[in-house]
Structure 1
Amino acid sequence: MESKSVTIPIDKISSVDLNVGVIGTDIIIYSYGQGVIRAENFTKSDAKKIKELLGF
């Protein structure tokens, strides 16, 4: 599994989606001008909390 860090200003995030799967929950972050960021394999509760902390 590839691990890399991406940093964008929070005001550039346009939306956040959660993709709940059998193995874990993925967080998909859509941004203005930075493309899509996907973070994989969180627990459902952790992913919901991260989405909430991002303001969505």
Structure 2
Amino acid sequence: MSTRESAEKLEVSERSVQRYIETLRIAGEWIEYDTALKGWKLSVGKSVLWDDF
């Protein structure tokens, strides 16, 4: 999901989404930008907050 799509869905600014993503990354969440999808995603099978999925 792109930053813009996330911002629209959450009804916040794109900058807020960027801050949320950075906060989650600092907390240890495995979030990465997928250039093929042109959006952010959780790495498959790796999550600090939701255990491994």
> Which structure has greater helix proportion?
2
Q: TM-score, normalised by structure 1?
A: 0.33
> Which structure has greater strand proportion?
1
Q: TM-score, normalised by structure 2?
A: 0.35
